[in-house]
Amino acid sequence: MNARIHPRIPSPPAKALAVFLILILAMPLPLFARYQPTRGSNAFSREQELQAGQQASADVLKKMPVLPESDPVTQYVQRLGAQLTVHAPGDPWPYHFRVVNQKEINAFALPGGPIFINMGTIQAADSEAQLAGVMAHEISHVVQRHATRAATKQMKVQMPLQILGALLGRSSLGQLAAEGISFGAGSYFMKNSRQNESEADLIGTDIMYDTGYNPQAMADFFAKLEKEGGANGPQFFSDHPNPGNRAGAVEREVHSLAPKTYRTGSPEFAQIKQRVAGLKPLTAQEIAAQQQQQTQSVKGRLPAAEYPSRETQAFTHDLFQISYPKNWQVFGDRTSTVNIAPPSGVSDNAIAYGVLISDYQPEDKNATVDQSTHALLNTLRQSNQDMKQVGNDEDIHVAGVTGKSVDLIATSPVQDANGHGQRERDWLVTVPGRQGNVIYLVFIAPDADFNTLRPTFDQMLRSLRIK
Ligand SMILES: [Zn+2]
């Protein structure tokens, strides 16, 4: 860009101005540099991002005390949110705001747009700009697709690329969940890194500025939370850790923007503050207790109708064929990882009854089935930390070849009367595939039910054919 050469050419002021304007229009960046959204490595397509967020959102609505859409507090937050999201940079996402009736000060954003603000956050905000600051910060996590970027990073470490490809290629999110990839309140992928935090602060600053709120209010609110520390603050920082000198970073970003007179809060904010002041939202502990009760009533032992029927049907995958009880279902398709399970044995984030079938490609193409099995076990243990091997692995004759059989124990998603996860048995069988890979099956059931299902599992294994 030859911006510095032009002013030397003598020209009447009007012409100089015209040249200057043309230069501005031709410049790729705005006059006042602002933080630009980044993309980073992301294995999720836009559609998968939206789907993941919707599914996690449904889960949050089911498990958390979310205020109804019609609640005046929700409606106020949604109106404020709409003013902010107009100025969200990058790809447009369907932003949607809900309020969680929870005391602890926190907020979280799910992939593709759903954003949840805790009641405690609204109660603690001293001004509309402070509340807008938290919301602008959350919007920025969506803009940056932080959750799916974190999941992508984790999956690359955890899984051989082939499994990752198969999972994301066509799979349903239920299978992703079976591999430990899920989003939502408390999910590992919703815990942001310090790098994510400074990015969200910078984009949040720009959104605040563009909406007309003083961006410094965002940093002020975080500083206030940190100073108060107290019982209700820390939860926010466990999901949104302080990247260090937030106020300084916000100030630097503000200085890169044109000076501006900021708006004052709406009279509505004062009304809402008054409304929420007397409310007693639930504590995290009370919510956890409610969830436990819910889990027990929703998820329990298998209903009688779902114990395996004798009648079977066949499922043909690109890599294998297998027969399974007619009253069970296949989750997945002929190219993906599949779960074959009774309908209530699988939830969106766990499999309690049934079998998971996938293939594993060891790094060493010449690895023996024994070596591949051990490498696979390490991979499985990384995503199921409490999984333990019981006894030795043994040779097993299956589909006309010799594979390996390994018994494992883990914690079942089905809980006992005290709300603790029951002991689960996982029976891993590996079978050498055609291209140096292994096909593996994990038969899963709570320990108490495993022997009842064992004949079905045996029968399924006997029907297995490798293609
Ligand atoms: Zn954050």
CA 199 / ligand 1 centre spacing (Å): 9
Work out the pLDDT band at 297, boundaries 50, 70, 90: very low
Q: 204 and 333, same structural domain?
A: no
Q: Is residue 112 part of a domain?
A: yes
Instruction: Choose from 67-76, 152-161, 297-306 the range with maximum mean pLDDT.
Output: 67-76
CATH number at 405 reads 3.40.1000.10
Q: Is residue 9 part of a domain?
A: no
Residue 341 has pLDDT above 70, yes or no: yes
CA 283 / ligand 1 centre spacing (Å): 21
Q: 248 and 190, same structural domain?
A: yes
CA 136 / ligand 1 centre spacing (Å): 10
Q: Is residue 10 part of a domain?
A: no
Residue 4 has pLDDT above 70, yes or no: no
Amino acid at 357: I
CA 47 / ligand 1 centre spacing (Å): 23
CA 130 / ligand 1 centre spacing (Å): 14
Q: 330 and 271, same structural domain?
A: no
CA 196 / ligand 1 centre spacing (Å): 7
Kindly state the percentage of the chain with pLDDT values over 70: 82
Q: Is residue 16 part of a domain?
A: no
CA 241 / ligand 1 centre spacing (Å): 7
Amino acid at 388: K
Q: Of 193 and 191, which is predicted with more confidence? A: 193
CA 214 / ligand 1 centre spacing (Å): 18
Q: 218 and 139, same structural domain?
A: yes
Name the least confident of 1-10, 72-81, 288-297, 361-370: 1-10
Domain containing 404: what range?
301-466
Looking at 252, 282, 312, the residue that finishes a domain is 282
CA 240 / ligand 1 centre spacing (Å): 4
Q: Is residue 240 part of a domain?
A: yes
CA 285 / ligand 1 centre spacing (Å): 23
Residue 44: predicted pLDDT? 87
CA 40 / ligand 1 centre spacing (Å): 17
CA 132 / ligand 1 centre spacing (Å): 14
Q: 424 and 378, same structural domain?
A: yes
Looking at 282, 310, 344, the residue that finishes a domain is 282
Q: 378 and 248, same structural domain?
A: no
CA 66 / ligand 1 centre spacing (Å): 20
Residue 271 has pLDDT above 60, yes or no: yes
CA 203 / ligand 1 centre spacing (Å): 11
Residue 296 has pLDDT above 60, yes or no: no
CA 200 / ligand 1 centre spacing (Å): 6
Work out the pLDDT band at 93, boundaries 50, 70, 90: very high
d(CA 164, CA 176): 9
CA 135 / ligand 1 centre spacing (Å): 10
In the 3-class helix/strand/coil scheme, how is 275-315 assigned residue by residue? HHHCCCCECHHHHHHHHHHHHHHHCCCCCHHHCCCCCEEEE
Q: Is residue 381 part of a domain?
A: yes
Work out the pLDDT band at 295, boundaries 50, 70, 90: low
The phi-psi region of residue 65 (left if phi > 0; otherwise alpha if psi is between -120 and 50; otherwise beta) is beta
Looking at 230, 252, 282, the residue that finishes a domain is 282
CA 351 / ligand 1 centre spacing (Å): 30
Question: pLDDT digits over 422-436, tens only?
Answer: 888 999 999 998 888
CA 239 / ligand 1 centre spacing (Å): 7
Q: 254 and 338, same structural domain?
A: no
CA 46 / ligand 1 centre spacing (Å): 21
Q: Of 5 and 99, which is predicted with more confidence? A: 99
Question: pLDDT digits over 345-355, tens only?
Answer: 876 557 889 99
Going from the C-alpha of 153 to that of each of 150, 173, 188, 203, 360, the distances in angstroms are 5, 17, 12, 22, 19
Q: 130 and 36, same structural domain?
A: yes
Q: Tell me the mean pLDDT in the region 428-445.
A: 92
Pairing assessment for the beta strands 346-347 and 350-351 based on DSSP bridges? antiparallel
d(CA 197, CA 271): 31
Look up residue 353 and give its two tokens.
């009854």
Q: Which residue, among 330, 335, 338, has the nearest Cα to 318 in the 3D structure?
A: 335
Residue 10: predicted pLDDT? 37
CA 129 / ligand 1 centre spacing (Å): 17
Look up residue 364 and give its two tokens.
């060493």
CA 232 / ligand 1 centre spacing (Å): 17
Residue 180: predicted pLDDT? 64
Q: Is residue 19 part of a domain?
A: no
Q: Is residue 319 part of a domain?
A: yes
CA 34 / ligand 1 centre spacing (Å): 19
Question: pLDDT digits over 368-404, tens only?
Answer: 999 999 988 887 877 677 888 888 899 999 989 999 9
Q: 216 and 79, same structural domain?
A: yes
Q: 140 and 263, same structural domain?
A: yes
Q: 307 and 262, same structural domain?
A: no
Average pLDDT, the chain: 84
Q: 42 and 163, same structural domain?
A: yes
What is the domain count for the chain? 2
Instruction: Choose from 75-84, 158-167, 403-412 the range with maximum mean pLDDT.
Output: 75-84
Q: Tell me the mean pLDDT in the region 64-81.
A: 95
CA 165 / ligand 1 centre spacing (Å): 29
